[in-house]
């Protein structure tokens, strides 16, 4: 049974939550109850909202939104929220069903609204499926052996470019101000302060990656989550084809991956925090390419980890990449 879709039993359980009474009602003077779809948006919302918001994430640290299965408890969590912050760009294909099952009546902030969207390469297969069956067939079935993760024509991982994160922050601040107009000025002030930090981070990244020789700027990672980062900071990310966060490649797929890495003469490959490391470890053994470290793509680390905030995540990824890409 597919992990990418709510099965009938789960849908029934979620639907039942709609009949439950809301456990809390927001009133002025209390923190605004906000639900973010995943941990990165949770942190961006905290940075803008500060003590004025109480924000939780549906998909938490080190969680994989690709294989997320909402529970009745999470439907109840969303039902009680006044604001939902989502990424959009078809990243959370499970979210429309969850909103319907939860009877969500609040305001949704689509954080990616207004960014310059990166188109995926023609014929690109991202390895999973976030969306509904286009033919309208029963979705309680096997999911094309893990190779149907179809975000549509656009790359949804826009937060990987810090300039896009600034757009996210502005959208979040505007949305929070709409939901809680009494504190609009404070949301704007906190967003402005945070944007200054993001602007400095973006400038630093551009300077540091510009110092890497062009011949050393190719990176192999688990899946194509870093296209915006590569585009912004002058790198080339080669996603390992046939590898998804849920399914293992066949022997033929693995042979093709080995050939790909050898022919490109790639010296380092990178794990991701949401992926099983064993396949890339095998690829490393068979090609001689070193494991360059762990990158954080679609989720933050737990609070005790090195990427507990968005800025920490970007800095950790940059440090890991620069260490592996710099000569000798």
Cα separation, 70 vs 324, in Å, equals 37
Instruction: Indicate if 205-325 has the same CATH topology as 8-196.
Output: yes
- What is residue 70's predicted lDDT score, i.e. its pLDDT? 94
pLDDT value at position 247? 54
Closest alpha carbon to 61 in 41, 34, 47: 41
| Predicted pLDDT at 231 | 95
* Distance in angstroms (rounded) separating the CA atoms of residues 169 and 112: 9
**CA 87/CA 65 separation, integer angstroms:** 11
Cβ-based neighbours of 240, under 8 Å, separated by 6 or more: 220, 221, 222, 223, 257, 260, 269, 279, 280, 283
Please say whether the dihedral angle defined by the alpha carbons of residues 83, 187, 166 and 301, taken in this order, is positive or negative: negative
Q: Which CATH superfamily is domain 8-196 in?
A: Nitrogenase molybdenum iron protein domain (3.40.50.1980)
Q: Between residues 293 and 75, which one has the greater pLDDT?
A: 75
With a pLDDT cut of 70, the percent of the chain lying above it is: 77
Domain boundaries, the chain: 8-196, 205-325
Average per-residue pLDDT for the chain: 82
Question: How far is the C-alpha of 219 from the C-alpha of 126, rounded, in Å?
Answer: 17
More reliable by pLDDT, 310 or 220: 310
Rounded distance between C-alpha atoms, residue 225 and residue 96, angstroms: 22
CA dihedral 310→159→168→198, nearest 10 degrees, is 50
What share of the chain in percent tops pLDDT 90?
55
What does the pLDDT look like over 210-253, one tens digit per residue? 999 888 888 877 667 899 999 999 998 877 654 445 556 678 87
Mean pLDDT of 96-102: 95
- Please report the pLDDT score of residue 122 as a whole number: 65
* Integer angstrom CA distances of residue 55 from 30, 213, 225, 313: 13, 42, 25, 19
- CATH 2.40.10.10: does it fit domain 205-325? no
DSSP state of 33: E
What is the structure's pLDDT at 199? 98
157 burial type by CB count under 10 A (0-12 exposed, 13-18 middle, 19+ buried)? buried
Cβ neighbour number for residue 51 with a 10 Å cutoff: 9
Distance of CA 144 to the CA centre of its chain: 23
Mean pLDDT of the region 16-38: 72
What is the pLDDT at residue 2? 41
Per-residue pLDDT at 124: 52
pLDDT computed for residue 123 by the predictor: 53
DSSP codes joined into one string, 177-232: HHH-GGGHHHHHHHHHHHHHHHHHHHHHHHHHHHTS-GGG-EEEESSS--HHHHHH
Highest mean pLDDT pick, 5-9, 128-132, 136-140, 302-306: 302-306
Top pLDDT among 154 and 86 is at 86
Please tell me the predicted confidence (pLDDT) of residue 328: 58
What is the model's pLDDT at position 176?
98
Distance CA 205, CA 294 (A): 18
- The pLDDT of 85-98, averaged and rounded, is 95
* Averaged pLDDT for residues 278-297: 83
Letter string b/e over residues 176-206, b meaning 16 or more CB atoms within 10 A of that residue's CB: bbebbeebeebbbebbeebbeebeebbeebe
Burial 270-290, CB ≥16 within 10 A → b, else e: bbbbbbeeebbeebbeebebe
Residue 323, SS3 per DSSP: helix
Reading across the β-sheet that carries 268-272, which strands appear in turn? 236-239, 218-221, 268-272, 290-295
């Amino acid at each position: 049974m597919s992990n990418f879709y709510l099965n009938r039993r789960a849908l029934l359980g979620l639907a039942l939550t709609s009949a439950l009474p809301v456990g809390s009602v927001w009133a002025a003077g209390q923190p605004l109850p906000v639900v973010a779809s995943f941990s990165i948006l949770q942190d961006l919302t905290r940075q803008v909202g500060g003590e004025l918001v109480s924000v939780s994430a549906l998909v938490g640290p080190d969680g994989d939104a690709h294989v997320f299965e909402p529970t009745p408890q999470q439907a109840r969590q969303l039902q009680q929220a006044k604001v939902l912050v989502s990424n959009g760009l078809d990243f959370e294909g499970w979210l429309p069903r969850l909103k319907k099952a939860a009877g969500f009546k609040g305001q949704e902030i689509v954080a990616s609204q207004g960014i310059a969207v990166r188109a995926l390469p023609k014929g690109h297969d991202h390895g999973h499926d976030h969306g509904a069956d286009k033919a309208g067939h029963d979705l309680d079935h096997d999911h094309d052996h893990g190779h149907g993760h179809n975000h549509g024509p656009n790359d949804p991982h826009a937060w990987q470019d810090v300039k896009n994160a600034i757009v996210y922050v502005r959208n979040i601040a505007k949305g929070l101000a709409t939901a809680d107009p009494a504190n609009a000025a404070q949301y704007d002030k906190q967003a402005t302060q945070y944007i200054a930090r993001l602007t400095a981070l973006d400038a630093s990244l551009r300077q540091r990656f510009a110092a890497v020789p062009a011949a050393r700027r190719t990176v192999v990672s688990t899946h194509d989550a870093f296209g915006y980062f590569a585009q912004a900071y002058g790198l080339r990310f080669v996603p390992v084809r046939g590898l998804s966060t849920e399914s293992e490649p066949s022997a033929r797929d693995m042979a093709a991956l080995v050939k790909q890495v050898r022919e490109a003469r790639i010296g380092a490959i990178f794990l991701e925090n949401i992926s099983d490391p064993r396949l890339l470890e095998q690829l490393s053994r068979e090609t001689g390419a070193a494991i360059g470290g762990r990158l954080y793509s679609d989720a933050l680390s737990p609070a005790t980890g090195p990427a507990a905030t968005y800025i920490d995540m970007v800095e950790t990824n940059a440090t890991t990449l620069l260490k592996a890409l710099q000569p000798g």
